[in-house]
């Protein structure tokens, strides 16, 4: 039998199959393919939820809530620290009250014991301490201190009222003087090119007036006259090298006097400003360094205060100055307390 394509299967013939010794058999017709069921129409995929970068809206909202909680916690900590700083400043200020002008009648031993109790309470502050706790303790301490220092606070109030009356009287006198002179007397409006001697008379007049007012505890008007003297100092134009040095020394004295006025008026930003102006003229002037160290103490920048005091004590005048020595002693105590406080806080954190 002849089978096209040789032995085996002829895929192309489609007529039949022959094996050795077998008759040719007609191939059965291929079954018809089963009808395909109609496929269900696929729904389009849902649009993805909008994202913020790599975050889903849910994750973003959760992150916002976490951030809000963190901000609230930070604000609470800031308020707590502010209250603690105010309490600490009050304790520091009242420790100096017995040695102040009106502190002679204070029971120093009782006051020290009360302040120590307040300071010890601060040392026991923990993470559970709230702003309300500190405010309550501050109010209690202030009430106790005011009772101990009743005469002291009364004297301060009387001095304040007296100063206000003096300022009003001085303002009236100044207005009368300006009216009599036919000018407002303000140094900044004097644009004349006066000879050195005439301008110096104005400088000296304002400086001496300021000193008289300062002695009378009229610190605000004293500061005004010292400032006017400085303004006149800036209007010299015909100075020799010797004259220039003379004016520099006058300016130095005026800035120191202004710093002292602002100490009396409790404006320590102005104290710092004029102490720096004085130090720009003489970088090692002990009184200017002392004034700036006072400001640093108020700002709790004890290391800067100590640096200025060390420099002040290197000067022959500063070396013998009792005020500088007293402030240095106080600064050293405060630095030690700060270190002890930090050590105790870290001990609690890791204990």
- Which of 67-88 are b and which e, b meaning 16 or more Cβ less than 10 Å from the residue's Cβ? eeeeeeeeeeeeebeebbeebb
Measured between alpha carbons, how far apart are the two ends of the chain, in Å?
A: 104
Quote the pLDDT of residue 173: 66
Quote the pLDDT of residue 20: 42
Assign 241 to helix, strand or coil.
Answer: helix
pLDDT exceeds cutoff 80 at 116? yes
Mean pLDDT check: name the lowest of 16-25, 153-162, 191-200, 224-233: 16-25
Compute the average pLDDT of residues 161-186: 63
State the Cα angle at 302 between 299 and 304, rounded to 5°.
95
Q: Other C-beta atoms within 10 Å of 188: how many?
A: 11
CA distance 100 to 324: 16
Element at 17 (helix H, strand E): strand 16-17
Residue whose pair of structure tokens reads 């502190």 in the numeric block:
103
pLDDT exceeds cutoff 70 at 294? yes
Quote the pLDDT of residue 77: 79
pLDDT exceeds cutoff 70 at 185? no
Report the chain's mean pLDDT, rounded to a whole number: 80
pLDDT above 70 as % of the chain: 76
Q: Single out the residue of 106, 200, 96 nearest to residue 151, CA to CA.
A: 106
Model confidence at 114, in pLDDT bands (50, 70, 90)? very high
pLDDT digit string (tens) for 134-162? 999 999 999 999 999 999 999 988 888 88
Q: Are 217 and 166 in contact (CB under 8 A)?
A: yes
Assign 52 to helix, strand or coil.
Answer: strand
CA distance 130 to 254: 47
CA distance 2 to 302: 118
Q: 0.75 cut: is pTM over it? A: no
Where is pLDDT greater, at 325 or 65?
325
Mean pLDDT check: name the lowest of 48-52, 77-81, 110-114, 171-175: 48-52
CA distance 265 to 278: 19
Where is pLDDT greater, at 36 or 136?
136
pLDDT exceeds cutoff 90 at 24? no
CA distance 184 to 165: 22
Model confidence at 227, in pLDDT bands (50, 70, 90)? very high
Compute the average pLDDT of residues 265-274: 92
Residue whose pair of structure tokens reads 């916002």 in the numeric block:
64
Q: Residue 157 corresponds to which tokens in the numbers above?
A: 């109030």
pLDDT exceeds cutoff 70 at 183? no
Delineate the domains of the chain, giving CATH numbers in brackets. Answer: 63-148 (1.20.1270)
pLDDT exceeds cutoff 60 at 128? yes
Quote the pLDDT of residue 170: 66
Quote the pLDDT of residue 15: 39
pLDDT digit string (tens) for 50-78? 555 567 888 888 888 888 888 877 787 78
pLDDT exceeds cutoff 80 at 23? no
CA distance 282 to 276: 10
If you average pLDDT over each of 11-25, 65-79, 169-183, 228-242, which comes out highest? 228-242
């Amino acid at each position: 039998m002849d089978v096209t394509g040789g032995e085996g299967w002829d895929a192309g013939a489609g007529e039949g199959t022959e094996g050795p010794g077998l008759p040719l058999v007609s191939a059965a017709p291929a079954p018809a393919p089963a009808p395909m069921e109609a496929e269900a129409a696929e729904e389009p995929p849902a649009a993805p939820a909008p994202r913020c970068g790599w975050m889903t809206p849910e994750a973003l909202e959760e992150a916002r809530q976490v951030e809000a909680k963190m901000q609230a916690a930070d604000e609470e900590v800031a308020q707590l620290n502010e209250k603690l700083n105010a309490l600490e400043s009050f304790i520091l200020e009242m420790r100096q009250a017995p040695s102040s002008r009106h502190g002679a009648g204070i029971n120093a031993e009782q006051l020290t014991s009360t302040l120590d109790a307040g300071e010890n309470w601060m040392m026991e502050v923990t993470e559970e301490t709230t702003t309300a706790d500190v405010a309550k303790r501050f109010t209690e301490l202030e009430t106790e201190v005011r009772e101990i220092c009743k005469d002291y606070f009364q004297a301060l109030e009387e001095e304040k009222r007296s100063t206000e009356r003096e300022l009003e009287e001085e303002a009236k006198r100044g207005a009368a003087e300006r009216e009599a002179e036919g000018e407002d007397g303000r140094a900044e409006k004097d644009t004349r090119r006066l000879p050195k001697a005439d301008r110096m008379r104005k400088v000296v007049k304002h400086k001496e007036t300021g000193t008289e007012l300062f002695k009378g505890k009229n610190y605000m008007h004293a500061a005004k006259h010292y400032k006017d003297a400085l303004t006149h100092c800036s209007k010299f134009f015909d100075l020799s090298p010797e004259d220039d040095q003379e004016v520099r020394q006058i300016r130095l004295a005026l800035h120191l006097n202004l710093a002292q006025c602002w100490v009396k008026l409790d404006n320590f930003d102005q104290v710092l400003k004029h102490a720096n102006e004085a130090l720009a003229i003489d970088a090692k002037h002990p009184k200017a360094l002392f004034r700036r160290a006072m400001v640093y103490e108020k700002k709790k920048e004890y290391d800067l205060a100590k640096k200025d005091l060390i420099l002040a004590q290197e000067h022959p005048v500063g070396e013998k100055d009792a005020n500088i020595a007293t402030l240095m002693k106080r600064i050293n105590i405060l630095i030690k307390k700060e270190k002890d406080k930090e050590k105790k806080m870290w001990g609690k954190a890791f204990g």
